[in-house]
Structure 1
Amino acid sequence: MSDLVEFLRARLFEDEDTARWAADYRSRPRRGPDSSREERWQWVETESGGRLRLGRRPMDYLQRPVSLRSVNVYPWQSRPGVGPHHVLDVSLVKEGVALHVARHSPARVVAEVHVKRRLLELHSRMNGTGVCQACGEHVREGGCTTLRLLATPYADHPAYRAGWRA
């Protein structure tokens, strides 16, 4: 197994673990296929509880208190007065940040990690001649172009190597 494959497996584990941690109402990550609980988030107006309709102007600030809510019910028992869908309350947030947070809910991150793991498995198979069995590319510096592209978002990680750039 190449260092690049090991690097990618570690980063994907971190991404999934963080997403599952965010989705777990107990604030402890759980592992397993059902532990993300298909966690999806949406912004709602704090007072009315109505779903917030966000625009596409990322520099605008929301001018009213809003709450990030889970579509799923959290079985909260630790804080009185907190609703069963509560994730976060804010009084000021940039609209672009709000869009980003809701769009990258734990369920989506976990799904993306599973796809990337599948790509990693497909493209880490070599046929003994240094050729990737999935794409037929001659492998250089630990992996084919697909694996090096998968590593690109982690270029700021201290273990990332410049030779892995695609």
Structure 2
Amino acid sequence: MAHVFAFWESRAFYDSFMARSHDRLAAAQSGTFKDAQVKLFEYRFDVKTGFEPRFTDADLIRVALCRVHEQRVEHFTLMQEKVWNPAMAGSPGMIRGMFGEAPAHEFMVLSMWRSAAEHGKYRTERVERLALRAQTEADIAALTGDIVEMEPSWTV
């Protein structure tokens, strides 16, 4: 499995690419992969510090995809900002990240870590306590995600 993250300077640049170049590039890649899933998220806010799409200093990325109950979207977003962000920012191995939103009450939390060991310390020490404090179980209808080990030769 491969995860490909693309970051666009603006929605206008993304729309231009989709209208002018996407189909030609997709046709050239035909047969090189199967079961692609694509989601477009709008940037909402940083996790920790000013996000920049630079991956050379990270060894691991944690991506969480959350479908949130419609009536809990405001609470979920507030808890990301007031509970989860400060906790991740306080973890020494966490570099930076971003919080994004897609249609149909879907959200992505992407966090970049120096190492799997540093991410593991954060996860085991804090996640249960933070989830209770943020009432995450009441907010989330579905949660998927992955831990992505970086392959430096794939970084552009």
- TM-score interval, smaller chain: under 0.3
Greater relative contact order (CA < 8 Å, ≥ 6 in sequence): 2
TM-score if structure 2 supplies the norm length? 0.26
Which of the pair has more CA radius of gyration? 1
More strand by share: 2
